[in-house]
Amino acid sequence: MPIAIVIPTLNEEHALPATLQHIAEIMPNARVIVADGGSTDRSKAAAHSVPKLNLTWLDAPRGRGNQMNAGAAAANEEVLLFLHADTLLPAHTFELVETALQDASVPGGYFRIAFHPVTPLTAFYAALYNLRSLGGVCYGDAAIFVRRDLFQQIGGYQLGLIMEDLDLVKRMQRLGRLHYIRNGSVTTSSRQFRTTRSALKMAATWLILPLLLQLGWSQERLAALYPSSR
């Protein structure tokens, strides 16, 4: 089952090489598409420095939705896996995804999440995040994967949205039950939790935003609350 890994980037020269090197080690046959939103650092050079990697570099309009749609459009593989530049996949990702999609009624899925380095606060947040994932609520740091034809069928990522990943997951769920992979975790950087204050703000915001979205808050009101570095 051919897999294309799509990574949206913006000035990720420090995080990206480790992510790409890890992919080269655990999934040497996977195609990796880096969709860059106009980096001004050495992200491109850092990406191309990773050996034994089937890499495609794309310059895309800035914005995660734009970048991930551009990466998906460049792929012809059967499965798309969207990965953040600071996130490492579990060692047996290929087998886990292939097993998840053996059921033809499953449109895609996502993974458990862990943070590194681990602190009591990030461990607590990961536990809350994974508990929420049981109910089908997840963000892009959970490494969402989807059959490419179904991704195209539902129109890909909707541009200009806050929480575009959550929106994509909800539209995927209309096609069938998503597979939540619990026997393998993606490990993402806890850099967004640099201080206790920022960690609590991030956790509270991510817990509250889905509820506000369900209550009909406008994108403009949600954007004012969203702690985005994009």
Residues 103-124 have a mean pLDDT of 91
pLDDT confidence of 118, banded at 50, 70, 90?
confident
At 230 the pLDDT is 43
Q: Is pLDDT above 80 for 211?
A: no
Q: Is pLDDT above 80 for 126?
A: yes
Residue percentage of the chain with pLDDT more than 90:
65
pLDDT tens for residues 84-113? 999 999 999 999 999 999 999 999 999 999
Cα–Cα distance, 143 to 132 (Å, whole number): 15
At 32 the pLDDT is 98
Least confident interval from 87-96, 124-133, 180-189: 124-133
At 199 the pLDDT is 58
Q: Any idea of the CA torsion for 53, 28, 99, 173, to the nearest 10 degrees?
A: 0
- Per mean pLDDT, which of 92-106, 114-128, 156-170 is the most reliable? 92-106
Q: What does the chain look like in DSSP terms, one character per residue? A: --EEEEEEESS-TTTHHHHHHHHHHH-TTSEEEEEES---SSHHHHHHTSSS-EEEEEE--SSHHHHHHHHHHT--SSEEEE--TTEE--TTHHHHHHHHTSSTT--EEEEEEEEES--HHHHHHHHHHHHHHTTT---GGG--EEEHHHHHHTTSSPTT-TTHHHHHHHHHHTTSPPEEEEEEEEEEE-GGGSSHHHHHHHHHHHHHHHHHHHTT--HHHHHHH-----
At 167 the pLDDT is 86
Q: Domains of the chain, with CATH numbers?
A: 3-225 (3.90.550.10)
Cα–Cα distance, 57 to 9 (Å, whole number): 10
Q: Is pLDDT above 50 for 229?
A: no
pLDDT tens for residues 6-37? 999 999 999 999 999 999 999 999 999 999 99
Q: Is pLDDT above 50 for 67?
A: yes
Q: Pick the residue with more confidence: 201 or 229? A: 201
At 189 the pLDDT is 85
